[in-house]
Amino acid sequence: MTALADLLIARIGQTGPITLADYMAECLLHPKHGYYATRDPFGTKGDFITAPEISQMFGEMLGLCLAQAWIDQGQPTHFTLAEIGPGRGTLMADMLRATKSVPGFHDAASVHLIEASPVLRAKQAELVPQATWHDTISTLPDAPLFMVANEFFDALPIRQFTRDDAGWREHMVGVQDDTLTLGLSAAAPIEALDHRLDDTKTGDLVELCPALPGIAAQIGQRIADHGGAALIIDYGDWRSLGDTLQAITDHAPVDPFNAPGDADLTAHVDFEAIAQAASPAQFTRLTTQGVFLERLGVTNRAQSLAQHLTGDGLDQHIAAHRRLTHPSEMGEIFKVIGLHPKGTPPPAGLTHDA
C-alpha cells in the first residue's frame, strides 16, 4: 500500500468508484504523491528508457527533419520550436545541437517546453537553459510552430469500455476488501463510441483518451493558422482495440493497482483520434519509427559515429541503432505521424496516403 492508495480508497469509500482516467491522473499527477511529481523516471536508474536516452541519433534525426520543414515553408524569421512532454530535455538538446549548422535556424527559433512536473523542469533547465516553460500549449506564442511529441500521448489518462449487448460498460476503479480493483458499470450507450459500433462486437474493449482531442486540436489549429510542423512519436496504432493499460516499475511490468503513485502508467495511442482532432492541419500516413528513421538517414549517421568508437562503446552504439530501428525492438511498435499546413510538403521521412 502507498499513501496515495489510502487517499484513493478513502475517496472511493465516500463518493463511489472512479473512472480509470481519474485513477491514472491521480497516480501520475497528484501534487504530493503522483509519479511524475516525485521523481525522474528516465534512464537506467529510472523505470524506463525513451528513445532520446538510448542514442543521440534519435534527436538528431528529428531536429534535422523539423529544420527541413522550416526550409520547405520559406524559413520564417520567427518561429516556436517546442516539445511537449520533454522528459529530461535530452531530445531538445540533441535537436538543437544537430541543427546548429543550419543557416538561420537558431536565429529564428524560440525554444519552448511544455512540462507539468517540477522535478523534470529542473532537469530540463540543465540541458536547455534557454527554454521558456509552459503548463499547456495554449500559452505558446502565436507563431509558426515546429513541435515534437515523443512518448507524450501514451501517458495521458484513458477510459476503458467493454461492448455489451445493451451498449458499453465502463471499467471503473473500486474497492474490495480494502484493495483497489477494477469493476464494470451498468451498460449504456456512449455517444463518443458510436463510430465503433461497426467494427466491434460484444466483448470487445475500446479505450478513449479524454484529453487527447483537445491537445491534438490545439496543435493542428496552430499549424494551420501560423504554419509549422509536428512530429508525434509513440507506441500504438491507427485505431484502439483491446486492453493496453500497463504499469512499469524498474523496467518491468507490474500490477497497475498494486502501488498507485509508484509506477508509470501508460496506454497505446490511438493515432486516428489524433489525426481527426488535428484536422485543420494536414496529417501524414502513419509510419513505423524504424522506417521513418531509416528514411531520414539514421544508418548513415550511425556508420559515421561508429568510425570513432571501439570495444564496448562500439557494441553499445550498434545495440542502440538496432533498438531504435529493428522491428523486434522499438522499430515496429513505435509509430510516427506528421502534421503540417495543407498545401505544404510533408515532413521529411513521411508521406501521405495514396
| 197-247 residue pLDDT tens | 999 999 999 999 999 999 999 999 999 999 999 999 999 999 999 999 999
Please report how many Cα atoms fall inside a 13 Å half-sphere around the Cα of residue 223, on the Cβ side: 34
- Fold of the domain built from segment(s) 36-157+209-340: Rossmann fold (3.40.50)
Parts of the chain with a pLDDT under 70: 38-48, 353-354
Task: Tell me the H-state helices in 109-180.
Answer: 118-127
Q: What is the pLDDT of residue 1?
A: 75
User: Residue 3: CB partners within 8 Å, gap ≥ 6?
Assistant: 32, 33, 261
Q: What is the pLDDT of residue 354?
A: 46
What are the CA-CA distances from residue 81 to residues 105, 127, 135, 204 (Å)? 10, 15, 16, 40
User: Residue 115: CB partners within 8 Å, gap ≥ 6?
Assistant: 85, 86, 121, 124, 133, 134, 135
Q: What is the pLDDT of residue 48?
A: 61
If we measure between CA atoms, which residue out of 333, 100, 83 comes closest to residue 219?
83
Q: What is the pLDDT of residue 269?
A: 97
Q: What is the pLDDT of residue 336?
A: 98
Cell of 178: 480494502
Note the pTM of the prediction, 2 decimals: 0.93
Q: What is the pLDDT of residue 49?
A: 79
What stretch(es) of the chain map to CATH 3.40.50.150?
Answer: 36-157+209-340
